[in-house]
Amino acid sequence: MDTSGAPSRQRFHGSKAKYWANKMAVEQTEEGLSTAQLMLINHDLKPVETARRVWGPWNFCGYWIADCLNINTLMIASSMTVSGMAWWQAWIAIICGYSFAGIFVVLVARIGAVYHISFPVVCRSSFGIWGSLFPVLNRTVMACVWVSIFFRGSKPSDTCLIGGYLQPRPAREP
């Protein structure tokens, strides 16, 4: 309240904006460093500490299996059976395909698993600091594209599951 007794609108607005600015602010762990220096080293670019390395081989296998079992995999299997393959042939082809891709995923991820560093750090070793921005942005865009493919692939199943509830009901006479 100001001296006239009316609530101060600007003061309330400023405190609300300050609240949200503080809520969305990223914590600065290294005090006194410029933005350019923080781009060179920050908490996300350092190797993962031993205490934070909690995933073992079973965690990675479970994650890979869960990642492979999705609507798109079922759609691949169904399109193979429609094309004339038996169901078991389709699943063998899918398992072989995911295993083949898994070999390359493990090979690419080996440097991160051995040295406990993230993908941007690995890219910096090959492309330099500024050159590594392209592979990182490329990976980000491809992740967005892949998630959109998952959403698009799950749309027919969503329509089947909840489509009946969203249809307009005929008006009933009393």
- pLDDT tens digits, residue range 38-70? 778 878 888 989 998 888 889 988 988 888 888
Contact status, residue 47 vs residue 116, Cβ threshold 8 Å? yes
Q: Please name the amino acid found at residue 101.
A: A
Spatial neighbors of 139 by CB under 8 A, at least 6 apart, are: 119
pTM for the complete prediction?
Answer: 0.59
- Provide the residue ranges of all domains of the chain, joining segments of one domain with +: 55-116, 118-163
CB 116 within 8 A of CB 53: yes
pLDDT in tens, 93-150: 999 999 999 899 889 888 988 899 988 899 998 899 899 999 999 999 999 998 888 7
The model's pLDDT over 73-86, given as tens digits with 9 standing for 90+, comes to 888 999 999 999 99
Which amino acid type is present at position 26? V
